[in-house]
Amino acid sequence: MTLMRLVWPAALGLIIAGCAPSWAPRITEIQSPALAGASAEPRLSSFGGRIVLSWIERKAAHDAEVAWLKFSERTPKGWTPETTVATGENWFLNAADVPSVIRIDDTTLAAHWLESNGADPEGYDVKLVFSHDDGRTWSAPTTPHHDRTPTEHGFASLYPSPDGGLGLVWLDGRDGETMAVRAARFSKDGSQMSETVVKDHVCECCPTAVAVTANGAIVAFRNLGDRDVRDIYVARSPAGSSPSSPSWAAPIPVHGDGWQIDACPVNGPAVTADGQAVAVAWFNAKVDQGRVFVTFSTDGGNTFGDAVRVDDGGSLGRVDVALLDHQSAVVGWIEYTGGRSEFRMRRVASDGSRSASTVISALGTGRPSGYPRMARAGRELLFAWTESQDGLTRVRTASWEMR
């Protein structure tokens, strides 16, 4: 695959939305459970008012690099002690294609990681496991795809399906040069019930994102259209569709950017939902100008409003989004300014008004900084990111208690 590599100047464009006054969140860093110097690739998930943080740790052992997938859960007293899900020497590790741990119910969790499947460094499989005792023990690994081809299967997004089981979507390269978004459903006991194609011919290395609305699941991804137009699309799976034969509505664009580029930007969308309210955030770099946008839907993702500019003039993308209410959201992204990268956030409303941006943390300039993360539970918004310094990495976390 061809990756897009661009260097953004410090100031690239005009702010095109108005500012909302008097929004000054107080961000407090909290002690991270991840190992200093050897942790990266954080991910946050929220379910039932509980937030799970997962990450990868790497250590040298027996002349090989061993990877551990670990997780911790947020409590009023801080993070719980770290728990190991799995470990391996043949994992595919990448700052953009990140493992995850999610909660399905009060005692059931699901997790995924990536394992190399052959000599091709771009060939790897999704490995999926379940725990029915709150993470103390885990099932034997399985895969949602069964084609056995030594090609890419990754950028997976897991979600608790409306029927109480697990759903997931991923990018699947079994058809050679054409990448597809595929989806699968599993029962809570870990039995696979379905596998289906959501959309063929999509961008080959941009992360997917998924959320659950009152109408069912909605997946966001970067499409690959005619003349290499790589705009963000969504597809919906109605809540009433059969788990053994789920249907997906025809994908639609969230906005007609018309971003034409013969390369993969490695910059996927983010999506969040609450009832019928949906917000999608994304990045594009038309005319070599990095920009972040967000758009809102009030009908479960069937239609979307105008796109609102989010960044401060020089974005590197890598977005995340969390709804504050049905008319506003917090959007996170990486801004490049003054010769350095910063993890920033701001409140954006569906009417186009915006708060001033808030800097969460400075970041390293390279790919190891990965994707900063956000997740909300009740009145708390949590942040996780990778700090990279002198060749060492550590997952850091912070919190905003909303008043």
**pLDDT at site 69:** 98
pLDDT in tens, 292-315: 999 999 999 999 999 999 999 999
User: pTM score, two decimals?
Assistant: 0.93
DSSP secondary structure string, 16-31?
-SPBPSS----EEEE-
Could you state, in order of their start, the residue ranges of all structural domains in the chain?
27-401
Confidence check: pLDDT of 6 > 70: no
Q: How far is CA 213 from CA 8, 219, 278, 296, in A?
A: 36, 11, 8, 13
Residue whose C-alpha is closest to residue 216's, from 296, 294, 280, 299: 299
When pLDDT is cut at 50, 70 and 90, the band that residue 10 belongs to is very low
CATH number for the domain formed by residue range(s) 27-401: 2.120.10.10
Residue whose C-alpha is closest to residue 58's, from 89, 32, 83: 89
pLDDT in tens, 167-179: 999 999 999 889 9
**pLDDT at site 3:** 46
**pLDDT at site 249:** 94
Assign residue 179 a region (left: φ > 0; alpha: ψ between -120 and 50; beta: otherwise): beta
Confidence check: pLDDT of 273 > 70: yes
pLDDT in tens, 338-368: 888 999 999 999 999 999 999 999 987 555 6
